[in-house]
Amino acid sequence: MKKILLIVVAAFLCLNVVAQTGLKKGEVAPAFTAVDNTGEVLNLKTLLKKHKAVVLFFYRGQWCPYCNKQISHLQDSLQLLTAKGVYVIGVTSETGENISKTVDKTHASFSIIQDKNYTIMKAYQVNYVVDGAMLAKLKNYGVDLEKNNGNTDHVLPVPATYIIDSSGKIIYAHVDKDYTKRPPVSDLLKALN
């Protein structure tokens, strides 16, 4: 029953997303510096000097079954990605405590960034504010964004996955307002060839 409710919540979120389209393939990826869930300072430019590419994906929170499924798939295929010289980073608005819950659920061993001020989300044009009606619906389904994100902003990212090559260019972009659609890892691996 809980799984059905979460699917209904996801469907409502699809309808609620405003006109954020995200950056496109071929654009220059905005640089950023942030601290990940292990306390490591990540700088995109530095990472791109050390790695062939960065997979950067945006997820909503540990309460989201689609996010957890995507993160689990990335973790399951992490050796395939790292063998191609890739560094994987997840970006979320959820608190550090909830990032830990995500890690516990998915066994993610790659970097996850809490984008507190939505700097990265805004730069990649994937941020949006959940409206009051949707916020109430989420609460009815047991999702408390204020508790999950540690603020009253109600900002979430549109689901998005990017591959950024060593020159800083986006070579793959998957941005879809349909919350249920996430790229398979096989698509990421093809884009890296």
Q: Which CATH number is 157's domain given?
A: 3.40.30.10
Average pLDDT over every residue of 75-81: 97
> Using one digit for the tens of pLDDT, what is the confidence trace for 2-24?
555 444 444 444 444 455 789 99
Count of structural domains, the chain: 1
Domain hosting residue 177, numbered range: 2-191
Tell the burial category of 105 from Cβ atoms under 10 Å away from its Cβ (0-12, 13-18, 19+): middle
> Using one digit for the tens of pLDDT, what is the confidence trace for 129-184?
988 888 888 899 899 999 999 999 999 999 999 999 999 999 999 998 887 899 99
0.85 surpassed by pTM: yes
